[in-house]
Structures are given as C-alpha cells and as structure tokens.
Homo-oligomer: A and B are copies of this chain.
Amino acid sequence: MSKIGDFTITASHPSSLARQGDLFTAHGSLLTPAFMPCASRGVVRALAPQDIADRGLQIMICNAFHLLDHPGEEALARRGGLHQFMSWPGLLATDSGGYQVFSLAEPRDISEAGVRVRSPRTGQPLLLTPERSLQAQNTLGADLIMCFDECAPFPCEREYAAQSVERTLRWAERSHAAHQREDQLLFGIVQGSVYPELRARSAQATVALDFPAYAIGGVSVGESREQMLEAVEVCLEHLPPDKPRYVMGVGTPLDIVDCVVRGVDLFDCVLPTRNARHGLLYTWSGVLRLGNSRFREDDGPLEEGCSCPACRGYSRAYLQYLFRLKEGAAWRLLSLHNLQFYATLVHRIREAIPAGQLGKLWEQVAQASERLEEPSC
C-alpha cells in the first residue's frame, strides 16, 4: 500500500540519468517528469483551473506569499484550503514566497529571523519567516510545499552567496521543524548561485536534514544556459537518486529535456503562458511569432495536428486578429496552445524514457528551438 511521499521510479533511460517516476500524494499519483504551470495567485493567467486539467496537466504551482496577501490565510482556512477554494481536484504545489519576498526586499530588510516587507496590496508591514511561511503553506494545504529560502540574485558575489547558503540552511532546519502536516511533502531547497563548491555544500547539508524531496533554486535568474545546467548538475550529484528532484523556474522546452537527461523530475515556468500573451507560440517545427504580418492571411492552424482548442477551432489569421485586438479570447486560446505544447513535451519525455528515445527527442526539441519560424521583427 502506497503512502504519501512514496516515489517509485518506474523506468530509467538506458543512456542518460533520466528516470520516469510516480509520486504518491494526497491528491493522486503524479507521473514524472512533470511540468507545473504557474498559478501564483491561485489561477493561471487568462485561464481557469479546468483548462489545466483539460490539457492533461496534473499539477499547478501557487505562491504562498501572494495568497497570504490576498485572499489571506484566514479566508483560505475557512474555505478548507486552496484545493477547495480553486475547486481543483488535482495536485497543487506552493512556493514558500521567498522568491517574491526577496524581490521586494532591500538588504536591510533581511535578518536572521526572516524578511520584512510591505504587502504590495495594502502597504501593511509583514515579517515573513520560515515558521510563518510553513504555517501558511500548511493552511493552504498544497501537496508539495517548499522550505522558506533565500533565492540569491544574479550576479551575486561569492561571499554573499556563501552567507546566503548558510542562512538558507538554518531556515531549512526551522522550516522542517515548523512543518505540521504529514499529507504534504516538504521540499528542501538547494542554493549556491553559480559557485560549484557552494552548490555542493548546500546540497549536502540540505540532504543531511532529510527531506522527502529536493528542489534546486536560484537558477533561471539571469545566468547563462550553460551556467544553469552546470549548477543543476553539481546539485544533482549530491541529491539522493530515490527522491524527487525539482528545478525551480525552468524553463524552455530544451532546458527541460536537458535537465531531464541529468535526472530532474519536476519543473515549473511562466514561459508558456507569458510567451503566449506576447504572441510567441511553441510548435514542434519552431517558435511562431503570431504578430508577424505573414500570418495575416494564413488560414491554417497554429500547428497542424495539435488538439488544443486554438488549433482545433481557429486559423492563424483569426487568432492574429484577436491577438492584435488584445481580446481575452486570444490570451486564453494562445495560452491553451502553449500549455498543450508543454503537456505534450512532458508526455513525450515520459514515453521516451523506457523506450530509450530521449536523444531523438532532444534533437527534435533542439532543432525546433533553434529555428524560429519567423525572423524576429
């Protein structure tokens, strides 16, 4: 009988570190590698929760800081938690809020206790601490939750990065101690900026605290693709292979395949929905810039054979017209397409692992990534 947090590796890829898995949670089994669309405020921009399930995606990631700010912890507690509030029967993750808090904070706002910020909505002062974040995340009740950490900026001096790693470790210990619910999986988070020895130190010490799953944070913050992959690699060397590994905020389709072949199981990123709202559409033959004038008279779908509502229902010409009008329907339909692409991507990745076909898939994704269908305008 499975218990919450059980992670079964169901297949391994013969020529890489990629693995196919099944993570047992209170809201069902998550098939990995998996992608989590960002629903920071309890909704994926321009979409409703049902739209996510309809794409075949099992999980969304919300932000504890945004939700603590509004609608607020008490209101969510009275609704019975985030799943009930969103009427979402699937899986949920929450970020600790650390990333947002640090983006709002000045250096003087950061202390050993936590981070002092003002609510972006009301201006009220708020001290976010590991205990406060965990209390909020316990109330929200997501299946996967995160330690309160510091995501160091990029670029970041070695000395600051080292201090930040140590503080994040002390906060990880406090997060672990504050966590109250056995039906939620608490992820330890590895930091260390672009410094391999700090990444190694952070990973080893976080693993020593014995979390049921691990996240790699502080990547995709402005560093190069090579720096990102190097940082991820160092962390992975020190993370236990039998536990789920999540790379936060990554990434492009190619980043995802590149991390999968190194042994990553979980991803989240705003790219598919944000790019959709800017008219950048992912297809298996390249990125399509919908605003380009050559699509004005194009009666074809965004992508031949795609089963999303945009491709099944409408032409490039009509979608471009709606996009230029800034119609809500455009943002929704284009977001549905890009999420369908990401859902298909992780589905193909999961299928390619037992079949030993990840190399072929990597080639295909790399080619599509290089080749914009349109010159940038």
Q: Which residues of A contact B (CB under 8 A)?
A: 41-43, 45-50, 70-71, 75, 78-79, 84-87, 296-297, 299, 309, 313-315, 317-318, 321-322, 325, 327-329, 331-333
Contact = CB atoms under 8 A, between A and B. Distances in A.
Contact of A75 (B45, B79, B296, B322): B296
A138 B84 CA distance: 51
A16 B249 CA distance: 65
Contact of A46 (B297, B313, B328): B328
A318 B87 contact: yes
Nearest to A321: B71
Contacts of A85: 315, 317-318, 321
B327 A45 contact: yes
A313 B49 contact: yes
B48 A297 contact: no
A333 B43 CA distance: 13
A48 B296 contact: no
A313 B48 contact: yes
Nearest to A49: B313
Contacts of A321: 42, 70-71, 85
A326 to B, nearest CB: 11
Contacts of A87: 313-315, 318
A297 B45 contact: no
Contacts of A313: 48-50, 87
A78 B296 CA distance: 11
**The 5 nearest A-B residue pairs measured at CB:** A46-B328, A328-B328, A48-B329, A87-B314, A50-B313
Contact of A41 (B46, B50, B325): B325
Contacts of A78: 297
Given A321-B71, A332-B328, A332-B332, A299 B79 contact: yes
A48 B329 CA distance: 6
Nearest to A47: B329
Contacts of A41: 325
A43 B79 contact: no
Contacts of A84: 299
A329 B43 contact: yes
Contacts of A309: 48, 50
B86 A318 contact: yes
Contacts of A333: 48
Given A43-B322, A87-B313, 15 more contacts: A41-B325, A43-B327, A45-B327, A46-B328, A46-B329, A48-B309, A48-B313, A48-B329, A49-B314, A50-B309, A85-B315, A85-B318, A86-B318, A328-B331, A328-B332
Given A321-B42, A322-B43, A79 B48 contact: no
A199 B352 CA distance: 73
A43 B322 CA distance: 8
16 contacts: A41-B325, A43-B322, A46-B327, A46-B329, A47-B328, A48-B332, A75-B297, A78-B297, A79-B297, A79-B315, A85-B317, A85-B318, A86-B314, A87-B318, A328-B331, A328-B332
Contacts of A328: 45-47, 328, 331-332
Nearest to A331: B328
A312 to B, nearest CB: 9
A320 to B, nearest CB: 9
A317 B82 CA distance: 12
A313 B50 CA distance: 8
Contacts of A297: 75, 78-79
A43 B323 CA distance: 12
A70 B325 CA distance: 10
